[in-house]
């Protein structure tokens, strides 16, 4: 890079100053991860906007790692964000304002420049696709007290949920980690995700009308948008992206379950995509397309040997034809096939998503419905709930 251009990026980009980070610690920002060397002091040339910072402490030989801890930041131009490694707690902590001001001046005077790794701008495009709906207000709305996201604060959730292979791996990692948190502390450090009901229950409504509401989640989506998202579609999509990033980069089980709930809610709508929320669904399909396109990539390393992409944790259950994601996508693709007319942008992105899943996972979507016009999987916790009517023929 031209020296003048590089200096301009250093001065106008944000800087993440990380003090006393032990060697071999894995440190990531967005889609990039590196292993801290002996003189590592942080990352420079960070583009303004939202970013996810995450790290995992290492054993002395660099062969074993603790559960990832991550936090979101919203970086301003030329901002310096300072954290110091706490050796006892094995995590990054904030420092006093007075001390921080001193370090900020040192960074702006380029005293740490040779000890700061550059943000890889060639990967910034991937990050923008994963985070374009995340704003400072979305971060403040969801992040836990203290800002740290880690599976180590989710022991109750780990114990009480059905476990896929990925979730079992997280349980084992949690058992062998050096982290220990009390129940009260764990609860206070959980993210403030929106509660998404799996089954619609409403007073005064029963029978066929209740069945219809559970088969088509449009009414539930509308009520959540008004009640919890201030009628903002973009805030909902921001939470979807927040949860995916916290899951994929931060390895949070809570985040995965929230992402699954939001995806199931939106894919479970049959009226909204064509009548009331076409633009929302076009944006939603585009978001999911880029999430899966990135999440299904294999890890790679650059020519210097540094880790080029964040270590992903997409377990084998995603790849099976009986996974929740396969069922949801098949139902939605079938819905799109039978609907007329369909918005051109929505149809185009839906086809791109289908092609991605077919090419990346080898999934086959034979879009012909059964005798009842529905494709349902037994034993699926997110399958529509059908309430039988009070009729002797159903006894």
pLDDT class for 46, splitting at 50, 70, 90? very high
pLDDT class for 349, splitting at 50, 70, 90? very high
Instruction: Using the predicted structure, report yes or no on whether residue 344 has a pLDDT greater than 70.
Output: yes
As its CATH architecture, domain 3-120 has Sandwich (2.60)
pLDDT at res. 151: 84
The answer to which of 92-96, 201-205, 235-239, 360-364 has the lowest mean pLDDT is 201-205
Q: Please tell me which of 131-145, 206-220, 364-378 the model is most confident about, judged by mean pLDDT.
A: 131-145
- Percent pLDDT > 70 in the chain is 73
* Mean pLDDT (whole number) for 387-394: 38
Per residue in 226-272, pLDDT (tens digit) is 999 999 999 999 999 999 999 999 989 899 999 999 999 999 999 99
Per residue in 298-335, pLDDT (tens digit) is 544 343 334 434 444 455 556 666 688 998 999 999 99
As its CATH architecture, domain 151-392 has Alpha Horseshoe (1.25)
Instruction: Using the predicted structure, report yes or no on whether residue 152 has a pLDDT greater than 60.
Output: yes
pTM for the full predicted model: 0.83
pLDDT at res. 198: 75
**Neighbour count for residue 102 (Cβ, 10 Å):** 11
The answer to which of 69-78, 200-209, 244-253 has the lowest mean pLDDT is 200-209
pLDDT at res. 361: 87
Calculate the CA 336 to chain-centre distance.
26
Instruction: Locate the domains of the chain by residue range.
Output: 3-120, 151-392
Considering the chain, what is the average pLDDT of its residues?
Answer: 81
pLDDT at res. 166: 55
């Amino acid at each position: 890079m031209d020296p003048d251009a590089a200096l301009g990026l250093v001065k106008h980009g944000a800087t993440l100053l990380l003090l006393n980070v032990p060697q071999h610690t894995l440190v990531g920002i967005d889609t990039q991860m590196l292993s801290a060397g002996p003189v590592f002091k942080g990352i420079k040339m960070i583009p303004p906007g939202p970013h996810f910072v995450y790290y995992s402490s290492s054993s002395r030989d660099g062969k074993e790692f603790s559960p990832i801890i991550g936090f979101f930041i919203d970086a301003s131009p030329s901002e310096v964000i300072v954290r110091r490694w706490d050796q006892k707690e094995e995590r990054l902590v904030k420092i006093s304002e007075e001390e921080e001001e001193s370090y900020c001046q040192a960074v702006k005077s380029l005293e740490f420049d040779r000890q700061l790794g550059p943000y890889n701008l060639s990967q910034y495009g991937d990050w923008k696709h994963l985070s374009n709906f995340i704003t400072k207000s979305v971060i403040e709305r969801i992040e836990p007290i203290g800002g740290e996201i880690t599976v180590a604060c989710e022991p109750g959730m780990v114990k009480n949920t059905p476990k896929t292979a990925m979730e079992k791996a997280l349980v084992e990692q949690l058992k062998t980690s050096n982290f220990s948190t009390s129940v009260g502390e764990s609860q206070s450090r959980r993210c403030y995700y929106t509660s998404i009901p799996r089954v619609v229950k409403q007073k005064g409504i029963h029978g066929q009308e209740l069945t219809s509401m559970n088969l088509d989640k449009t009414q539930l989506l509308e009520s959540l948008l008004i009640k919890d998202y201030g009628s903002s579609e973009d805030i909902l999509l921001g939470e979807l992206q927040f949860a995916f990033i916290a899951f994929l980069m931060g390895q949070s089980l809570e985040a995965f379950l929230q992402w699954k709930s939001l995806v199931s809610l939106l894919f479970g709508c049959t009226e909204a995509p064509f009548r009331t929320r076409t633009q929302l669904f076009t944006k939603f399909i585009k978001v999911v397309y880029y999430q899966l396109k990135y999440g299904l990539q294999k890890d790679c390393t650059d020519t210097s040997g540094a880790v080029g992409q964040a270590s992903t944790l997409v377990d084998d259950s995603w790849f099976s034809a009986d996974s929740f994601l396969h069922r949801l996508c098949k139902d939605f693709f079938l819905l799109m096939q039978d609907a007329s007319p369909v918005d051109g942008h929505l149809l185009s992105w839906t086809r791109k998503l289908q092609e991605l899943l077919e090419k990346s996972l080898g999934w086959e979507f034979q879009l012909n419905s059964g005798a009842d016009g529905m494709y349902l999987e037994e034993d699926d916790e997110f399958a529509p709930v059908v309430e039988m009517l009070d009729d002797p023929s159903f006894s």
